[in-house]
A and B are shown apart, each in its own frame.
Chain A
Amino acid sequence: NAGVTQTPKFQVLKTGQSMTLQCAQDMNHNSMYWYRQDPGMGLRLIYYSASEGTTDKGEVPNGYNVSRLNKREFSLRLESAAPSQTSVYFCASNPSRSGDTGELFFGEGSRLTVL
């Protein structure tokens, strides 16, 4: 049982380049999330998907797009990377079913540097 898998783990981009972070979960969870983590800022929600076919903006969506490809996969795209997007990105999921614990299951994180 792999849980939540993110790729790539590390990436260096130049300003203006584009890239997609991939996330997949094998726990049949309904909800999936993308957070970014910056020193002293905690985890800030970029986008989330409450169920397959739906996506919504979080606290810091500017500069990002997402796709909930199917129930398993939720990708995050940077169309034109900026140095301010240098961060560690975490994908997470939870069951979001009645009676569940509410626990978020995180991937290992993707460290992105934009030069």
Chain B
Amino acid sequence: GENVEQHPSTLSVQEGDSAVIKCTYSDSASNYFPWYKQELGKRPQLIIDIRSNVGEKKDQRIAVTLNKTAKHFSLHITETQPEDSAVYFCAASMTAGNKLTFGGGTRVLVKP
């Protein structure tokens, strides 16, 4: 089955700096790669996703990149703010709507 690895496990950045989280996946048949954000004590919520026919996608201060050949994808957060502090999870599945395999999560702390 699919295996998703995520790095780093914790990330501390100064407010205004950028944060980058990287994930690798094992199953070359995977084509859908979402990112979820989980604030402390809350449920995970989708923040952005990318499909294999696209190399990069942006939404305001967040962007995702995908390298299908190398089987890795990344989340970039620019101009970080205190409200970006949370745990972020990457995930992969064969198609949107199929069961997702999640990475281990990255705890991001934005210091004011």
A contacts, CB < 8 Å to B: 31, 33, 35, 40-45, 48, 58-59, 90, 94-97, 100-104, 106-109
Instruction: Report the contact-size class of chain B (Cβ under 8 Å from the partner).
Output: 20 to 34
B99 CB within 8 Å of chain A: yes
A42 to B104, CA, bound (A): 4
Q: Name B34-79 residues within 8 Å CB distance of A.
A: 34, 36, 42-46, 49
A95 to B97, CA, bound (A): 7
* With A43-B44, A107-B43, A108-B43 as contacts: A102 and B97 at CB distance below 8 Å: yes
B18 CB within 8 Å of chain A: no
Contact of A102 with B101 in the complex, beta carbons under 8 Å: no
Q: Name B77-112 residues within 8 Å CB distance of A.
A: 89, 93, 95-105
